[in-house]
A and B are shown apart, each in its own frame.
Chain A
Amino acid sequence: MNQISTEEEQEEFHEEQDSLWRLALSPTLWALHFVICYGATTVFCADHILGADYLTTLRLGIGLLTIGVLAAIVWLGWGAWRQWDVVRDREWENDAGNNEDRHQFMGHAAFLLSLISAVGVIYVSLPVLLIASCA
Chain B
Amino acid sequence: MTRRYPDVLQPEGTYPPTEDMLAEPVPQEVQEAQKKRLRAAWKTPQGWRYWSAVNNTEVGIWYTMTAFFFMLCAGILAVLMRTQLAVPENDFLDADRYNQFFTMHGSAMMFLFAVPMFEAISILLLPGMLGARDMPFPRLSAYGYWCFLIGGIFVFGSILFDSGPKAGWFMYPPLATKEEGIGPDVWLLGLSFIEVASIAAAVELIVGALKCRPPGMRVNIMPLYAWYVMVVGGMILFAFPPLIAGDFLFELERSFDWPFFDPVRGGDPMLWQHLFWIFGHPEVYIIFLPSIAIAAMIVPTVARTPIVGYSWIVLSAVGTGFLSFGLWVHHMFTTGLPQISLGFFSAASEAVVIPTGIQLFAFVATLMVGRVKMTLPMLWIAGALAIFVAGGLTGVMLAIVPFNWQAHDSYFVVAHLHYTLFGGMVFPVMAGVYYFFPFFRKKLLSETLGRWAFWLIFVGFNVTFLPMHLTGLKGMPRRIFTYPGSAGWDWLNMMSTVGAYITAAGFAVFVYDLLRPKAYQGQIKRNPWGGGTLEWAHDVPEEAWGNRSVPYITSRYPLWDQPKLVERMDAGRYYLPDAPEGKRETLITSVIDAKPLMVQRVTGPAWITMLAAFFTGGAFIFPTFHIYEPAIVCGAFAIVCVLYWLWTSTAQVPDQARKDVGLGLSLPTYASGPTSVGWWAVWITMLGDSTAFASLVFGFFFYWTARPDFITIGADHATGAAVALGVTLFVVSWAATVLAREVNKRSHITLARLALALAATCTVGGAGLIILSVLDLEPTTHVYPATMWALMVWLVAHALLGVIMQLYALAGSIFGKMTPQYDADLCNVTLFWHFMVLTALVTGFILGVAPRLLA
Check A97–B312 contact: CB distance below 8 A: no
The CB with the most chain A CB atoms within 10 A, among B314, B325, B344, is that of: B344
B680–chain A nearest beta-carbon distance, Å: 11
> Is the C-beta of A93 less than 8 angstroms from some C-beta in chain B?
yes
> Is the C-beta of B625 less than 8 angstroms from some C-beta in chain A?
no
Check B351–A119 contact: CB distance below 8 A: yes
Check B348–A123 contact: CB distance below 8 A: yes
Between A and B, 10 residue pairs with Cβ closer than 8 Å are A1-B595, A4-B16, A6-B16, A42-B705, A43-B705, A95-B310, A97-B217, A97-B553, A116-B351, A123-B348
User: Across chains A and B, which 9 residue pairs bring their CB atoms closest together, nearest first?
Assistant: A127-B343, A105-B220, A48-B708, A97-B554, A112-B315, A27-B322, A123-B347, A108-B311, A116-B319
Contacts of B16 in A (CB 8 A): 4, 6, 8-9
0/1 interface trace, chain A 90-102, chain B, CB 8 Å (1 if under): 0011111101011
How far is it, in angstroms, between the C-alpha of A61 and the C-alpha of B343 when the chains are bound? 17
A107–chain B nearest beta-carbon distance, Å: 9
How far is it, in angstroms, between the C-alpha of A4 and the C-alpha of B14 when the chains are bound? 7
Contacts of A27 in B (CB 8 A): 318-319, 321-323
Check A120–B351 contact: CB distance below 8 A: yes
Contacts of A131 in B (CB 8 A): 339-340, 343
> Is the C-beta of B754 less than 8 angstroms from some C-beta in chain A?
no
0/1 interface trace, chain B 703-716, chain A, CB 8 Å (1 if under): 01110100000000
Check B340–A45 contact: CB distance below 8 A: yes
> Is the C-beta of A89 less than 8 angstroms from some C-beta in chain B?
no
How far is it, in angstroms, between the C-alpha of A14 and the C-alpha of B704 when the chains are bound? 47
Within 8 A of A (CB), among B1-47: 10-16, 18
> Is the C-beta of B573 less than 8 angstroms from some C-beta in chain A?
no
How far is it, in angstroms, between the C-alpha of A24 and the C-alpha of B593 when the chains are bound? 18
> Is the C-beta of A135 less than 8 angstroms from some C-beta in chain B?
yes
> Is the C-beta of B338 less than 8 angstroms from some C-beta in chain A?
yes
Check B708–A102 contact: CB distance below 8 A: no
Check B340–A102 contact: CB distance below 8 A: no
0/1 interface trace, chain A 104-120, chain B, CB 8 Å (1 if under): 01101100110011011
Check B220–A101 contact: CB distance below 8 A: yes
B442–chain A nearest beta-carbon distance, Å: 30
Our pick among A2, A41, A116 for the contact of B340 (Cβ within 8 Å) is A41
Check A116–B311 contact: CB distance below 8 A: no
> Is the C-beta of A46 less than 8 angstroms from some C-beta in chain B?
yes
Check A20–B348 contact: CB distance below 8 A: no
> Is the C-beta of B577 less than 8 angstroms from some C-beta in chain A?
no
Contacts of A99 in B (CB 8 A): 593
- Nearest chain-A residue to B343 (Cβ)? A127
Known contacts A109-B311, A109-B315; decide if A95 and B591 are in contact (CB<8 Å): no
How far is it, in angstroms, between the C-alpha of A111 and the C-alpha of B554 when the chains are bound? 24
B residues adjacent to A (C-beta < 8 A) = 10-16, 18, 216-221, 306, 310-312, 314-315, 318-319, 321-323, 325-326, 338-344, 346-348, 350-351, 354-355, 553-556, 590-593, 595, 674, 704-706, 708
Contacts of B217 in A (CB 8 A): 97
The CB with the most chain A CB atoms within 10 A, among B13, B16, B338, B346, is that of: B338
Contacts of A34 in B (CB 8 A): 326, 344, 348
Our pick among A19, A23, A96, A106 for the contact of B554 (Cβ within 8 Å) is A96
Check B221–A95 contact: CB distance below 8 A: yes
Contacts of B315 in A (CB 8 A): 109, 112-113, 116
- Nearest chain-A residue to B553 (Cβ)? A97
> Is the C-beta of A67 less than 8 angstroms from some C-beta in chain B?
no
- Nearest chain-B residue to A48 (Cβ)? B708
Known contacts A15-B592, A97-B553, A106-B219; decide if A2 and B12 are in contact (CB<8 Å): yes
A101–chain B nearest beta-carbon distance, Å: 6
Known contacts A102-B593, A123-B350, A131-B339; decide if A94 and B311 are in contact (CB<8 Å): yes
How far is it, in angstroms, between the C-alpha of A121 and the C-alpha of B844 when the chains are bound? 34
Our pick among A2, A46, A124 for the contact of B705 (Cβ within 8 Å) is A46
Check B14–A116 contact: CB distance below 8 A: no
Contacts of A93 in B (CB 8 A): 306, 310-311
> Is the C-beta of A3 less than 8 angstroms from some C-beta in chain B?
yes
Our pick among A23, A102, A128 for the contact of B318 (Cβ within 8 Å) is A23
How far is it, in angstroms, between the C-alpha of A133 and the C-alpha of B322 when the chains are bound? 28
Given contacts A123-B350, A124-B351, 8 further A-B contacts (CB under 8 A): A1-B11, A16-B591, A17-B674, A24-B322, A42-B705, A99-B593, A106-B219, A127-B340
Check B347–A124 contact: CB distance below 8 A: yes
> Is the C-beta of A38 less than 8 angstroms from some C-beta in chain B?
yes
Known contacts A43-B705, A101-B220; decide if A19 and B592 are in contact (CB<8 Å): yes
Our pick among B314, B326, B344 for the contact of A127 (Cβ within 8 Å) is B344
How far is it, in angstroms, between the C-alpha of A95 and the C-alpha of B338 when the chains are bound? 48
> Is the C-beta of A71 less than 8 angstroms from some C-beta in chain B?
no
A7–chain B nearest beta-carbon distance, Å: 10
How far is it, in angstroms, between the C-alpha of A89 and the C-alpha of B572 when the chains are bound? 38
Contacts of B556 in A (CB 8 A): 95
How far is it, in angstroms, between the C-alpha of A93 and the C-alpha of B309 when the chains are bound? 7
> Is the C-beta of A37 less than 8 angstroms from some C-beta in chain B?
yes
> Is the C-beta of A52 less than 8 angstroms from some C-beta in chain B?
no
Contacts of B338 in A (CB 8 A): 41-42, 45, 134-135
Check A105–B340 contact: CB distance below 8 A: no
Check B13–A135 contact: CB distance below 8 A: no
Contacts of B314 in A (CB 8 A): 109
A1–chain B nearest beta-carbon distance, Å: 5
